[in-house]
Chain A
Amino acid sequence: MHANTIAQIARDLRNKEYSSEELTQHYLDRIQRLDPNYNSFISVTAEQALEQARAADKQLSEGNDNPLCGVPIAHKDIFCTDGVRTSCGSKMLDNFVPPYDATVVENYKNAGAVSLGKLNMDEFAMGSSNETSFYGPVKNPWDTNCVPGGSSGGSAAAVAAQLAVAATATDTGGSIRQPASLCGVTGLKPTYGRVSRWGMIAYASSLDQGGAITRTAEDAAIMMNTMASYDSKDSTCIEREVPDYTATLNDSLQGMTVGIPKEYFGEGLNAETGARVEAAIEEYKKLGCNIKEISLPHTDLAIPAYYVIAPAECSANLSRFDGVRYGYRCEDPKDLGDLYKRSRGEAFGEEVKRRILVGSYALSAGYYDAYYRKAQQVRRLIKQDFVDAFSEVDVIMGPTATAPAFEFGSKNADPVAMYLEDIYTISVNLAGLPGMSIPCGLVNDKPVGLQLIGNYFEEGRLLNAAHQFQSATEHHLKTAPTHD
C-alpha cells in the first residue's frame, strides 16, 4: 500500500481496495517501525489521524470526489495546527500548541486529507542539512550517514521512506527543492503569493512560500489544487483563480523552449551530477523541446543578497519569541533584560542566532545602505535576469543542488560552504518564481535532482513538463534502498 501515489490511492479508496482507516493505520505502523531510522517526524498524531481517516471513509461513502480525501499526508512543523504542538524545529516552541490552523492545514482538512503528524525541519527553517533541528537531524533514507537536505528534510525523507504519501513543506531559499533533490522525490515551490502564509511561521516573509513534496508530478498537481488559494488573512497572497493543475499534465511539450543558464553549469557543480542533469535535458529534447542556452548574469550575487535580506527579515520576525507570552521562558529571570537574554539565548540554536545577528547588523544605522538597500537592488537585478530570460524561453532547467547528499558534519563547520548548497535555488526565491525539483538519476546510489523554473504563476507548465518527463522515464520510481 505504501508504494502508492495519491492518484492510485484515490482510485483504490473508491474501489474499496482498502479503507482510509486501514491505510492510515498501515502508515502509522510504518512510522513507528521505521522512523527511528530517519527521525523525520517530530510529532505523530495517531489518534487524530485515525479519527480523520474514519471521517474520510464516511465522506468517501457519501461520494466525496476530492482525490485527497482519506489520503495520509503530513505537515512540516512550521505550519500551525490547532491543538497540536507546532515547534518549528526549535526549543523555543517545544511547548507551543497553537489555537488555530494554518490556511494550508485548513485547506487539507477541508479536502478530507488525513494528517499523520508534524515533520522535522531545520530550526525556524534555517539550514540546508536538517542538522539545526532541536529534535536532532533527519537522516537521508538513501544513506543514513548523509543529510536529507533542508530545511524541509523531514518532509523529503518521510515521502522518500514512504512514511507519508505526500508532505507539505516550505521554501525560502531552496528548502523544498534541495531536500527533494537529495532524497529523490518531487518538490514544488509555487510562485510567491500563490499559497497563503497565514499560520506558517515566518522565517523571511518576502521569500517564504509553502509547497509540497510528493512522489510524482501528478501528485504535486493534486496537492497544489488544494493548497493554492486566495486568503484575505495574508496581504501578500495574490487574488487569482486557481487552475486545475492536473488538467494540463498531459499537454504535449512539442515546441516548448527550455532555457539552460550557463551560470548553473560552471565551477562548483559536481561533474557526475552535471552529467545526469544534461542527460535529463537530452530527454526533453526527445520530448520535442527546443533547448536554448541562456544567461542569468547576476547569479553569483544571489547568495550574498539572500544572506542579507533573509537574516534582516528574520531578525525582526523572531523578535516575538521573547519569553513573555508563549514559548520558552528561562527559569527565575531576575529582571526584564535577563528574561530576554536568557530566554532567547537558551532556546535559539547557533544558526538561528547567527542569522539574527547578521540581520540586525545589516539593518543597523550606518550599515543599512551598504547592506540591506544594496541587497534589495541586487534582488531587482536578479528578478530582471529572469524577466529577460522568460521573454525567450518557457521553462528554465538546471541542477537543483551542486552534488548528491553529503555526510553529516561535513559542512556545518563552515557556514558559507553550507550556504552555497542553495546556489541554484536561491535566485528563484529572490525573484518570487515557481520552481520544482524532480529526480533525474543517481550518483553513487544517491539521487540527483533536475530543477525546473517557471514564469510567474506557471506552476501548471512546470507540472506538465515534470509529468511528461516522469511519463517517459523511471528515475522517480526508484526508491531508497534502506526500506524494509
Chain B
Amino acid sequence: MEWETVIGLEVHVQLATNTKIFSGASTDFGAAPNTQACAVDLAMPGTLPVPNEQAFRYAIMFGLAIDADIGKRSVFERKNYFYPDLPKGYQTTQLDAPIVGPGHVEIQLSDGSTKSIRIHHAHLEEDAGKSLHEDFHGMSGIDLNRAGTPLIEIVSEPDMRNAEEAVAFAKKLHSIVTSLGICDGEMSQGSMRFDVNISIRPKGVEQLGTRTETKNLNSFRFMEEAIKLEVERQIDVLEDGDDIVQETRLYNGDTKTARSMRSKEEANDYRYFPCPDLLPVEIDDDYIEAIRKELPELPDARQQRFEESYQLSPYDAGILAADGNIANFFEATVNTCKDAKLAANWVMGEMSARLNSEEKSIKDSPVSAEHLGGLIVRISDNTISNKIAKQVFDAMWQGEGDADSIIEKKGLKQMSDTGELEKIVDEVLANSQAMIDDWLASDEAKRKKKMGGFMGPIMKATKGQANPGLVNKILSKKLNNLL
C-alpha cells in the first residue's frame, strides 16, 4: 500500500528579551545555576507576576510577519502539573485567547516549488527550568535560570507531507524569528525546540491516522532523522496489522533511535484556568500599527533585495538572507568592503566553514564583519592574494588584530613591483631548462597548462607574496619570447 505522511509542528521559540516574561531577572544563557532566578522565578510565597511588554511586542512582530490576526484580548492561563523544574506547580501560558491567531508561512522546496503552511496560532508562555540528572549523589539537580524565559509556541496545521517540507518549514521559522531579531536562533542552546506530530494514512484517504508526538528536537538534522524513523516505524506497525498508539516519543540523535515516553492514558489533566494574578491584556490597533511600521525586513524581501542591489545569484541571496544574523553580518561586511560578491563568497565560504568546524554561531565569531570587510578591501586592491588572505583570516581568527596590522606585522604584502618580479622570474627560468624544453615541445593547448608549472617555484621564491596576475603576464611574455 502507498502511504501518505501528515506532519504538524509545535515550535518553542525563546524570545530574546533582556528579562523574563514575568520577572526582572536576566535571561542570559550560560550563567552559573540558579544565579538568574529571582524570588518570582523561584515561586516564593507571596510573589506575583508582572508581564514583560517586550515579550508581547516580539510576539506581535511574529504575528505580523506571518500575516496573522493579533489577539486584541490576550489571556494567560495556568497549566497545572507537578515537576521540580516548574516552581509554581503550574506553567503560565495561553489557551483560548492567544496573542497570535491563524497565519501562514511560505516554504521553498528543492524542486523549486513553493508551498504555504498554515499556522493555527502562536501563544506566549514561560519556559520551565532544567532538571540536571547528573551526578548529585543519587539526586537530581535543579537549575531555575531558564524558568520564566519568555517563549512563543508556534502551532502549525498538519500541512506537511514529508521530512523535507517539515525541515523547510522549521528553517523558514528560524529565518523569520532571527530576521525579526526576536530570537537568537541558537538551536544548540535550546532557543528553538521542535515537537513533531506525525501520522500516516493510505494515500487518497482523507481521515487522519493516529498521531504520535516526538518532542524536543533541537536541530534540523535530528528532526529529519526522527521523522524518517517514525514514518518507517508507523508503516511497519500498520503493515503488521497493529494499531498506532497515541503517545509522546523521544528521539536520541546520538544513537539514532526513538522510544516511547508516555501514552495518552498517562497524560496529565492540566486543569487549565485563567490566571487570576494576571489581567487580560488589551492590545489596540495603534499599538499594533506602530510595531508594523518598525518591522525589520523579512527573509523573502531581503533575498530579493540581495539579488537586486548586490547582483547575487538567487541561491547565494537565499542562503545569506535565511538567517537574520548571517544576513546582518553579510551586510555589515559589504558596508566596509563595498564588494558584495567577494563578501558573499567569504561569508558563505571560509567564514561558514570555520564556524561549522568549531560549532560557533556567527554572533560568536572571533572575526567581526568590519575585520572581514577590511580583509576583503586588501584583496580587491591587490595588496594580498586570495591565498595570503586565508593566512590573514587565520590570524584574525586567532585574535591577532585587523587585516592591515597583520599584513604589516607579518610582511604579507603582495609583491607587485614589476622590475623585482622580472628578476625573480628570470632566476627561476634560468634554473628550469628541462621545463622550458618541455614547454617549447608542447602544442599550444598544453603550453597554457604547463605554464602553471613555473608558478610554484616563483611563489616559493617570493614566499607566496607575488601578485599572481602580474607574474602570469611576465612569465607568458618571457616564454613566448623563447618561441
B271 and A360 within 8 A (CB): yes
Chain B positions 106 through 127: 1 when the CB is less than 8 Å from some CB of chain A, otherwise 0: 0000000000000000000000
Within 8 Å by CB of A320, from B87, B272, B276, lies B87
Tell me, yes or no, whether B101 is within 8 Å of chain A by CB. Answer: no
B50 and A235 within 8 A (CB): yes
Interface residues of chain A: helix, strand, loop or mixed (majority): loop
Query: From residue A122, how far is it (CB to closest CB) to chain B in Å?
Result: 16
- Of the listed residues A80, A96, A99, the one surrounded by the most CB atoms of chain B closer than 10 A to its CB is A80
Tell me, yes or no, whether A363 is within 8 Å of chain B by CB. Answer: yes
B51 and A235 within 8 A (CB): yes
Chain A positions 185 through 203: 1 when the CB is less than 8 Å from some CB of chain B, otherwise 0: 0000000000001111110
A232 and B269 within 8 A (CB): no
Within 8 Å by CB of B271, from A80, A197, A204, A363, lies A363
Query: Which of B39-47, B291-299, B381-389 lies on the face that meets chain A?
Result: B39-47
Query: From residue B426, how far is it (CB to closest CB) to chain A in Å?
Result: 82
Query: From residue B184, how far is it (CB to closest CB) to chain A in Å?
Result: 28
Query: Which of B57-65, B77-85, B362-370 lies on the face that meets chain A?
Result: B77-85
Q: Given known contacts A199-B46, A319-B89, is B84 in contact with A324 (CB within 8 Å)?
A: yes
Q: Given known contacts A316-B273, A320-B87, A340-B82, is B46 in contact with A98 (CB within 8 Å)?
A: yes
Query: From residue B89, how far is it (CB to closest CB) to chain A in Å?
Result: 2
Within 8 Å by CB of B277, from A79, A205, A364, lies A205
Within 8 Å by CB of A325, from B42, B80, B82, B272, lies B42
A320 to B47, CA, bound (A): 11
A365 and B269 within 8 A (CB): yes
In chain A, what residue has the closest Cβ to B39? A100
B78 and A232 within 8 A (CB): no
B46 and A198 within 8 A (CB): yes
A233 and B273 within 8 A (CB): no
Interface residues of chain B: helix, strand, loop or mixed (majority): loop
Tell me, yes or no, whether A280 is within 8 Å of chain B by CB. Answer: no
- For chain B, the bracket of interface size reads 20 to 34
In chain B, what residue has the closest Cβ to A124? B45
Query: From residue A336, how far is it (CB to closest CB) to chain B in Å?
Result: 7
CB contacts between A and B, total, < 8 Å:
99
In the complex, chain B residues whose CB is within 8 Å of the CB of A336: 84
Tell me, yes or no, whether B132 is within 8 Å of chain A by CB. Answer: no
Tell me, yes or no, whether B48 is within 8 Å of chain A by CB. Answer: yes
In the complex, chain B residues whose CB is within 8 Å of the CB of A102: 46
A102 to B44, CA, bound (A): 12
In the complex, chain A residues whose CB is within 8 Å of the CB of B278: 235
Tell me, yes or no, whether A236 is within 8 Å of chain B by CB. Answer: yes
In the complex, chain A residues whose CB is within 8 Å of the CB of B78: 316
Tell me, yes or no, whether A315 is within 8 Å of chain B by CB. Answer: yes
In the complex, chain B residues whose CB is within 8 Å of the CB of A199: 46-47
A233 and B89 within 8 A (CB): no
B48 and A312 within 8 A (CB): no
B89 and A202 within 8 A (CB): no
- Which A residues form the contact surface with B (CB < 8 A)? 79-80, 86, 88, 93, 96, 98-100, 102, 197-202, 204-206, 232-236, 312-313, 315-316, 318-322, 324-326, 336, 340, 360, 363-365, 368, 372
List 13 interface pairs A-B (beta carbons < 8 Å), by A numbering. Answer: A88-B45, A197-B46, A199-B46, A205-B277, A232-B50, A313-B273, A315-B80, A315-B271, A316-B88, A316-B271, A321-B45, A326-B44, A372-B273
